[in-house]
Amino acid sequence: MQTKKVGKQIFFLHEVDSTNNLAKELAGYGAVEGTVVIAETQKTGRGRKGREWCSPKGSLYFSVILRPECDSCEVVKLVFVAGLAVAEVLSKKYGLEVAVKWPNDVLVNEKKICGLLSEMSVAGEKVNYVVVGVGVNANVDVVGVFPESLRNIATSLEVELGRKVELNELFRALLESLDVFYEQFLKEGTGKIIDKWKKYAVFLGHQVIVVDEVETLKGLALDVDNEGALVLKLKDGTLKRVFVGDVSVRL
């Protein structure tokens, strides 16, 4: 593999509870940076906010252990590194019209094709490790296989391309892409990464609803700034920076 760090060591499993869980365990035992855990299926694949990540055979589920030497507020921006890496592969290698949704979804035709779950271990200011989990719906017939609640909001490479993809090829391309943007993140920080990510951010300039744990905000999505915050223009004209939440676009 033509990578500097990502994928230098790969653990392949047929089945696991969650690749993120195993990657965290391995990281705790000192696994080297760039170690990847990939599984054919997950019994309890996890999404953000404790949601389940539906993980039938045929798609990609993997987690990468990273050990960047920066403080925790920089590390939260790794979701943009991963989102950009996935968006570039899906658009350049598979010719799909890809969109990203703040903070960490990748969509095709307004439906989710990839989710990212980044988890970190910190000691004070210092980051021990970050695990970036990537789930890409690949060779899955969404309508036939996914629960009804997901059928209208999820899609897959098979659905969008009308054919199955070679999973090994997809996996390799994703690791190489992650490696390139991770190196850029280490050398230059996130400025250029977020700028490139914003080229896929079709929600910018639209009215959105952002739901977080305490409130629901409505406003015009103006920007994603260099801190990774979503900048909203509220009805009364004030600007609000949002750091966590789920966005839906009001069309």
Which residues contact ligand BTN by CB under 6 A?
Answer: 18-20, 42, 45-48, 51, 53, 61-63, 105, 115-117, 133-135
Residue nearest to ligand BTN (CB): 115
Question: Smallest gap, in angstroms, from Cβ of residue 24 to ligand BTN?
Answer: 10
State the DSSP H helix or E strand holding residue 22, giving kind and residue range, or none if neither.
helix 19-28
Question: Smallest gap, in angstroms, from Cβ of residue 226 to ligand BTN?
Answer: 23
Q: Which residue has the tokens 């209208």?
A: 152
Q: Name the amino acid, one letter, at 245.
A: G
Nearer to ligand BTN, 105 or 160 (CB): 105
Question: Smallest gap, in angstroms, from Cβ of residue 17 to ligand BTN?
Answer: 8
Bridge partner list, 120: 130
Nearer to ligand BTN, 61 or 197 (CB): 61
Nearest in space to 130 (alpha carbons), one of 23, 245, 22, 3: 23
Taken in order 35, 40, 41, 47, the sign of the CA dihedral is: positive
Nearer to ligand BTN, 53 or 181 (CB): 53
Could you give the CA distance from residue 33 to residue 130 in angstroms, rounded to a whole number? 9
Residue 131 structure tokens: 């695990």
Q: Which residue has the tokens 């490479």?
A: 157
Nearer to ligand BTN, 45 or 245 (CB): 45
Query: Cis omega (within 30 of 0) on the bond before 103?
Result: yes
Question: Smallest gap, in angstroms, from Cβ of residue 55 to ligand BTN?
Answer: 6
Question: Smallest gap, in angstroms, from Cβ of residue 46 to ligand BTN?
Answer: 4
Planar angle of CA 29, 32, 37, nearest 5 degrees = 80
Nearer to ligand BTN, 58 or 115 (CB): 115
